[in-house]
C-alpha cells in the first residue's frame, strides 16, 4: 500500500514536469503540498492497516480459544447429559421399587387391620357372653372388662376361697362352672389364671411360706378345677402367681386390700394369623 502511494506521487510529479517544461513557483509549491498530503494519507492508512492486522491476530487467537472452550463445554455437557440419563433411569427404577414396596406394605397393613378387627369383635362378643353367664356373681366381687385386647375376669378372693385357704369353696365353684361353660364354647381362646395378694405378711399357713406361695397355689387350684372338674383343655391354660406386686390400688385400708386379693382370669384370642402376617 505504501509503494502504491509513492508511485502515485512520482507519477504526478513526472506528469507535471512533462506537461510543462517551465513550472511556476506557485504550481511547484502546490505540487509539493499534494505530495506531502499523499504521504500523510499513506502514513495514516499504514497505521490503520497495522492496527487492523493486530486486531485480526487477536481475533484469530480469541476465536481459537473460544473454539477450545466450546469443545470443553460440549464435552462437559455430554458428561452431564449422560449422568442425568443414568440418574433418571436409576431414579425411575428406584421409584418403581418403592411403589411396589409401598403397595405390598399397604396390603399387609390392611390384612393386619382386618385380623385386629376380627380379634376386637371376638373379644367384645366374649365379654358380653361372660357378663351374661356370670351376671349373678357381680355383687360378690366379680367383674369383666377388656384391657389391651384381652378380656379380664376378676374374682375377689372372698368369692373363691375362705380366708387364708387355697381350697375353692362352693360359691367359687359355681362361678367357675359358669365360666367354664363359656370357655368350652370358645376353643380359640387362651386362658391365663393369675393369683394376686395384698401386702400383708402370711402367718401360720403350713406349706404356704409367703404371698408368692399363696398367689401361685390359688391360681393352680383354679386351673385344676377348670381342667379336672370342668374339662377345659389343659393345653389352653397357664397358672401364674403375681404375689403382692401388681395391686389394683394402695393397701391402705381393709377394703382396698380386699380388692387386691383376687384371681384374674385373662382370656386372649389366639393370634396365629396375626403372628404369621407380621413375621
Residue with cell string 492486522: 53
Alpha-carbon distance of 105 to 181, in angstroms, equals 41
155 and 220, same domain (yes or no): yes
What's 210-242 look like in SS3?
Answer: CHHHHHHHHHHHHHHHHHHHCCCCHHHEEEEEE
19 within domain boundaries: yes
- Rounded percentage of the chain residues whose pLDDT exceeds 90: 42
End position of a domain, from candidates 37, 52, 70: 70
22 and 152, same domain (yes or no): no
End position of a domain, from candidates 70, 101, 130: 70
Query: If we measure between CA atoms, which residue out of 210, 229, 217 comes closest to residue 263?
Result: 217
Alpha-carbon distance of 172 to 160, in angstroms, equals 4
Residue 205 is given by DSSP the state: B
123 and 207, same domain (yes or no): yes
46 within domain boundaries: yes
243 and 181, same domain (yes or no): yes
104 within domain boundaries: no
Task: Give me 102's grid cell.
Answer: 409401598
176-195 tens-digit pLDDT: 999 999 999 999 899 999 99
CATH number at residue 124: 3.30.1330.60
Q: What is the pTM of this model?
A: 0.63
Count of domains observed in the chain:
2
239 and 166, same domain (yes or no): yes
End position of a domain, from candidates 70, 100, 127: 70
Which residue segment(s) compose the domain that 32 sits in? 2-70
233-277 tens-digit pLDDT: 999 999 999 999 999 999 999 999 999 999 999 999 876 554 554
63 and 147, same domain (yes or no): no
144 and 34, same domain (yes or no): no
Amino acid at each position: 500500500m505504501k509503494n502504491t502511494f509513492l508511485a502515485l506521487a512520482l507519477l504526478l510529479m513526472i506528469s507535471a514536469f512533462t506537461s510543462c517544461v517551465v513550472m511556476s513557483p506557485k504550481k511547484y509549491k502546490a505540487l509539493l503540498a499534494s505530495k506531502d498530503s499523499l504521504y500523510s494519507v499513506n502514513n495514516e492508512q499504514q497505521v490503520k492497516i497495522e492496527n487492523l492486522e493486530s486486531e485480526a491476530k487477536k481475533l484469530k487467537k480469541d476465536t481459537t480459544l473460544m473454539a477450545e472452550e466450546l469443545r470443553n463445554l460440549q464435552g462437559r455437557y455430554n458428561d452431564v447429559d449422560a449422568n442425568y440419563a443414568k440418574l433418571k433411569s436409576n431414579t425411575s427404577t428406584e421409584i418403581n421399587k418403592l411403589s411396589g414396596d409401598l403397595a405390598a406394605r399397604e396390603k399387609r397393613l390392611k390384612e393386619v387391620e382386618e385380623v385386629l378387627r376380627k380379634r376386637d369383635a371376638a373379644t367384645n362378643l366374649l365379654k358380653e357372653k361372660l357378663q351374661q353367664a356370670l351376671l349373678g356373681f357381680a355383687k360378690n366381687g366379680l367383674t369383666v372388662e377388656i384391657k389391651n385386647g384381652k378380656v379380664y375376669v376378676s374374682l375377689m378372693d372372698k368369692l373363691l376361697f375362705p380366708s387364708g385357704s387355697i381350697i375353692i369353696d362352693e360359691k367359687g365353684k359355681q362361678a367357675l362352672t359358669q365360666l367354664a361353660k363359656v370357655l368350652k364354647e370358645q376353643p380359640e381362646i387362651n386362658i391365663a389364671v393369675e393369683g394376686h395378694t395384698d401386702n400383708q405378711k402370711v402367718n401360720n399357713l403350713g406349706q404356704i411360706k409367703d404371698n408368692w406361695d399363696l398367689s401361685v397355689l390359688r391360681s393352680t387350684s383354679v386351673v385344676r378345677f377348670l381342667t379336672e372338674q370342668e374339662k377345659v383343655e389343659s393345653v389352653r391354660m397357664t397358672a401364674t402367681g403375681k404375689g403382692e406386686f401388681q395391686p389394683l390400688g394402695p393397701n391402705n385400708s381393709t377394703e382396698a386390700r380386699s380388692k387386691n386379693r383376687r384371681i384374674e382370669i385373662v382370656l386372649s384370642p389366639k393370634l396365629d394369623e396375626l403372628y404369621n402376617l407380621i413375621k
